[in-house]
Amino acid sequence: MILSFWRYSHLALAVSSFIFILIASLTGIILAVEPVSNQLEVGLASEATSEVSLAQTLAALSNRYDEVLSVAVDENDLVKATVIDENGDFSEFYINPLTGEKTADLIESAPIYQFATNLHRSLFLKSIGRFFVGLASLLLFFISVSGIALIIRRQQGIKRFFARVLRDNFFQYYHVYLGRLSLIPIVIITLTGVYLSLLRFEVIPATSLSHDVDYENIQAEPKLATADFPIFNDIKLDELRTLEFPFSDDVEDYYLVSLQSKEVLVNQFTGEVLSELKYPFVDIASRWSIDLHTGRGSIFWSVILGLASISTLFFIYSGFAMTLRRRASRIKNKYKKNQAKYIILVGSESGSTIRFATILHQQLLAAGQKSYLAEMNRYSEFKKMEHLIVFAATYGVGEPPANAKKFEKRFTKFSSKNPYSFSVVGFGSLAYSNFCQYAFDVDKLLQTDSKAHRMLEPYTINNRSWEAFNQWVNQWGEHVGLDISVPQENPITQKRKKKQSFEVIEKTEACDSPDDTFTVTLKTDSFKFQSGDLLAVYPNDETHERLYSIGLNNRGEILLSIKRHSQGLCSNYINDLKVGEKLQASIVKNRDFHFPKRARKVLMISTGTGIAPFLGMMNHNHKKIETELMWGGRNEASFELYKEVIEGNLSRGYLSKYAPAYSRAQAEKLYVQHLVKRDAEQIAALLKAKGVIMICGSIAMQKEVTATLDIICRKANKKPLSYYQNKGQLKMDCY
Ligand SMILES: Cc1cc2nc3c(=O)[nH]c(=O)nc-3n(C[C@H](O)[C@H](O)[C@H](O)COP(=O)(O)O)c2cc1C
């Protein structure tokens, strides 16, 4: 519920103000360039410093010009003067404060900046426009606040606000990632924008100082030369905002000196201070607001403001892309809830699970079955229900998604009168330590109903795998006696990966290996990839793909290790390829499973063909990061396939240690989790010292190893394994 509130607020605010924010961001980008170009343009003009006094500058100016009207220091700290020259002409320019010499003309704002300024400030609509711009600024501030709440929730706590973001999909990832980076500038831009609007509409009253001068007793004697006024000798140029000269020779007219924090009136003949008043807070705050909002005077801050504006454009785009994706997964039903025999309930946060559920729902309808699809929060009594199917994603720390939070309560409230069968499918990601936890919780809950009969064990689907979903539908169809199947081509991730030919340049034969395993080396020209990325191979048609973990050999070619399954379409297809032949495949980036660039120590754990990415990683461990490989296979003979690479890397120092766990080499079975347990102390120390553990291989092995690691972490380091996983110290790619 909490999440929904923030999410809907975030979205509603964004929708209601998006046009204004779009205009403000676009013009903001243009306006951020102006202070930078101004500073570069007047780069040679002299700066005001604490070395030069106002008196020195005034003396220099009076030697050069007939009449001086004012001296000012601008936001770039450059000194400018307004003078009347020998021809009686009025001019304003930058000066050298020591000589009074003109150094540069004043910069005129280019038409593009004037246009952008007007649009940015008032949309060319004067007061009404200014009002909407101010309001949009306030709304953007609230969007930022609701965004902070969403990030805290997503990152599982305020303390983890800046912890690594686990990558779910492109838009979500960068929305969060950039959101955190640009948060502070955006909050500053919005608050200062609101402040300036309040000032403009006099909600915050503008201040003017009211000096109390004793005109009765003003003296014109003793007369001093301006350059000898003690106050002008005391004022250094870096303290000055402006100095306005007296209008006339009347003794009542004075010098008006604006300093950074106060305003001073100075007798034009004697140099006596007539009045001195500090600026009120509103004035100081206004100057700060203008500087912070416009970036004037600071190239660094202008660049930050420009980047924040660009990020805002990305937030608009990615935010709407995510929303459209969610809306695309709205639920439609043909039958009423009490008419349907098949009830499909779905728990989904960002909508993808709804799309899987919809596909099953449509297949059932196409097969002439009465199916009803609903969100888990809408659970109630379904009078004709015979089969309940729950598709549940997991969020937070093994928690239900937003539209399933009320499920438990409703499930205990509404009980079914008739017996029914149920099957739970969990949607999650192995990148999280509580893989599909919520689906298991739902399965447990359903088992408490005496009318319910569990037809299938909970089935888990990692990263929206279409293949896994396909398999489950077939399995479930068989159990309920329905001939249904899902489309072969994944309609959810329609975006096709770019395919290319890969040439086989080396290969071993599965039949020569005791484990029916072989390696194949492939070459391609243009794809960029790293060890740990995946190769999606298409055996004979476009629809079936199989993913293999890539290792790079010394020449930068792809090395795959594949176990041939007797019925395996893809493994047999690759095994039958001859050197020189080509296969169609594409690269799938797997950024979360790349070799860490900065870790002090790395422990690689794998079984069977899961060794492939690690072979590649060690081949390219040029920095010689201390790296150990634990590998589980049947016996020494299984190791033969990889022996040359491993021994070569051990002797080069690219691999520090190789620890095998041969399950069948001795009477008692030895698995990698036993090695992990044996080396518990070193592993706990490795994690403490910011080392990284990488796991690749079967899911069964992954479960055993992570359970053992969790015990070690809790015992030795008093922290769960998820603590290290969240810090990016545990990387997994299991299948
Ligand atoms: C913030 C966040 C937390 C997540 N937590 C888990 C988790 O604890 N366990 C898990 O298996 N998957 C977790 N996932 C992965 C999602 O369950 C998975 O991406 C799922 O396919 C999303 O389905 P949906 O699009 O229907 O919401 C998480 C994803 C995000 C963005």
pLDDT tens string 587-635: 888 887 899 988 899 999 999 999 999 999 999 999 999 999 999 998 8
The Cα angle at residue 90 between residues 85 and 94, in degrees rounded to 5: 80
Average pLDDT over residues 179-203: 94
Which of the residue ranges 60-64, 84-88, 179-183, 454-458 would you say has the lowest mean pLDDT? Answer: 84-88
Residue 542 pLDDT greater than 70, yes or no: no
> Which of 168, 329, 399, 442 to mutate for ligand 1's pocket (most ligand atoms within 8 Å of CB)?
168
The Cα 506–Cα 645 span in angstroms is: 14
Output the CA 473–ligand 1 centroid distance in Å. 21
Could you tell me the domains of the chain?
A: 2-41+113-205+291-323 (no CATH), 45-106+214-279 (no CATH), 333-480 (3.40.50.360), 496-594 (2.40.30.10), 595-735 (3.40.50.80)
> Which of 171, 429, 441 to mutate for ligand 1's pocket (most ligand atoms within 8 Å of CB)?
429
- CB–CB of 698/607 below 8 Å? yes
Output the CA 448–ligand 1 centroid distance in Å. 26
Radius of gyration for the chain, computed over Cα atoms and rounded to the nearest angstrom: 36
Which of the residue ranges 71-80, 182-191, 359-368 would you say has the lowest mean pLDDT? Answer: 71-80
Residues whose CB falls within 8 Å of the CB of residue 492, separated by 6 or more in sequence, listed in order: 352, 355, 356, 359, 464, 466
What ligand 1 atom has the least distance to the C-alpha of 356?
Answer: 26
pLDDT in tens, 253-302: 999 999 999 999 999 999 999 999 999 999 999 999 999 999 988 889 99
Q: What pTM was estimated for this model as a whole? A: 0.67
169 lines ligand 1 (CB under 6 A): no
What ligand 1 atom has the least distance to the C-alpha of 348?
Answer: 26
Output the CA 351–ligand 1 centroid distance in Å. 11
Nearest CA to ligand 1 atom 16: 428
Nearest CA to ligand 1 atom 12: 428
352 lines ligand 1 (CB under 6 A): yes
Q: Give backbone dihedrals phi and psi of 32, rounded to 5 degrees, phi first.
A: -70, -20
* 3-state SS class at 631: strand
> Which of 427, 437, 465, 466 to mutate for ligand 1's pocket (most ligand atoms within 8 Å of CB)?
427
Output the CA 166–ligand 1 centroid distance in Å. 10
168 lines ligand 1 (CB under 6 A): yes
The pLDDT value given to residue 262: 95
pLDDT in tens, 154-166: 887 888 888 888 7
722 lines ligand 1 (CB under 6 A): no
398 lines ligand 1 (CB under 6 A): yes
Output the CA 159–ligand 1 centroid distance in Å. 20
Query: If pLDDT is split at 50, 70 and 90, which confidence band does 1 have?
Result: very low
Q: Which residue has the tokens 């792809």?
A: 558
| Dihedral angle of Cα 136, 142, 147, 149, to the nearest 10 degrees | 180
Nearest CA to ligand 1 atom 4: 395
Output the CA 484–ligand 1 centroid distance in Å. 27
Query: What ipTM does the predicted assembly reach?
Result: 0.98
346 lines ligand 1 (CB under 6 A): no
| Dihedral angle of Cα 163, 169, 172, 177, to the nearest 10 degrees | 40
Describe the strand order of the beta sheet including 657-662 as a list of residue ranges. Answer: 657-662, 626-633, 601-607, 692-697, 730-734
190 lines ligand 1 (CB under 6 A): no
Percent of the chain's residues with pLDDT above 90: 63
